Amino acid sequence: MDYEKLTRVMRRLALEAGDTIMAIYDADDFDVKVKSDSSPVTEADEAADALISAGLSAEFPDVLLVTEEQAASHTRRADTFLIVDPLDGTKEFINRRGDFTVNIAYVENGVPTRGVVYAPAKGRMFITLADGTAVEEDGPFEKAQMGTARPIRVNVADNAALNVVASKSHRDQATDDYIGKYSVADTKSAGSSLKFCLVATGEADLYPRVGRTMEWDTAAGHAVLTGAGGRVVRFDDHNPLTYGKDGYANPFFIAYAPSVDLKPA
């Protein structure tokens, strides 16, 4: 894979999808439907998916593409593939809370190695560069070329005063019980894959997810966090979270800075 090209294409498509999403987000109203799994989908999800899928298929025709909005892709398998959530945080989008992202990632042998997470309503862009390191790009964003980008790195955590981030829409008692095992200075909520990115930038130390997610929800954020020196492990045994699983469904997991003293499930 040409990682320079991959990074450039993923970034451009994320920005173009962000423009499409925001045009619908800023409209007076938009259509919301319910999928077979009872999750919501909007015209923004579908329009962004069409744009990203066409772009990736044109640039990388020989690489398997898995995307949330195309059920047929969920039955296909390969060791190496592109995986997309065109609008992660649909509930945040519907409620106009801003915590939604465009997620595009490249998985190699079960490991997300490159990714882009773009939060268009918040003006934040996180990218894994060709060399595997992670940066946050400062806006305004030009599609033709990357602007000023700052390397990001996980925090050296103070285990006596941890900063924890949890899901805004899916937080439950099991999550609170696990967080309660730590000495916590501050707990914040965030939607979508922004939670991975907050750990990657050092704004949080720990993100436990005790709830259902799919690989397209997590792969891009996982790649960004890895590029910033972070880790993502299974909740039950603390082994690395891998990709290309049956149905592309994730187990519970923990994303964290390696200096955090992880507690057992």
Rg, Å, the chain Cα set: 17
Tell whether 28 is in a known binding site.
no
Cα angle for residues 219, 232, 81 (degrees, 5° grid): 25
Tell whether 89 is in a known binding site.
yes
Contact between 255 and 199 (Cβ < 8 Å) = yes
Tell whether 68 is in a known binding site.
yes
Tell whether 87 is in a known binding site.
yes
Tell whether 18 is in a known binding site.
no
> Looking at residue 263, what DSSP letter applies?
P
Contact between 6 and 114 (Cβ < 8 Å) = yes
Residues contributing to the annotated binding site for substrate? 68, 87-90, 217
Residues contributing to the annotated binding site? 68, 85, 87-90, 217
Residues contributing to the annotated binding site for Mg(2+)? 68, 85, 87-88, 217
